[in-house]
Amino acid sequence: MSILTVNKSYIALNLDFINGSMIVNIEDGRQISVPLEWFPKLRDASHEQLMNYRFIGGGEGIHWEALDEDLLVENLFL
């Protein structure tokens, strides 16, 4: 009997903000869209503040220095 193991990546390549959502492109080709409403600091931020992010941990996380906000990409899928 064989067991299929699927290794999914949670490494973000880029992100954008459109119509109240954060769009994250993942290195394995997936794209996830999450509402900013889930993250009050991001929801209340200006577009300029939202775009002032950097990837941390090789793309495993997203950090906004000015907003004091960090997100783990993997948790966006939960």
pTM of the model as a whole:
0.87
- Which pLDDT value is given to residue 53? 98
Mean pLDDT of 61-75: 97
What is the layout of strands, in order, in the sheet containing 61-64?
54-56, 61-64, 69-72
Model confidence at 9, in pLDDT bands (50, 70, 90)?
confident
Model confidence at 6, in pLDDT bands (50, 70, 90)?
low
Is residue 49 pLDDT above 90, yes or no? Answer: yes
Domain residue limits, the chain: 12-77
CATH of domain 12-77: 3.30.2020.40
Query: In this structure, which long-range contacts are made by residues 72-76, counting pairs with CB atoms below 8 Å and at least 24 apart in sequence?
Result: 72/10, 73/10, 73/11, 73/12, 73/24, 73/26, 74/10, 76/24, 76/32, 76/34
| Residue 73 to residue 61: CA distance in whole angstroms | 5
Mean pLDDT of 20-38: 96
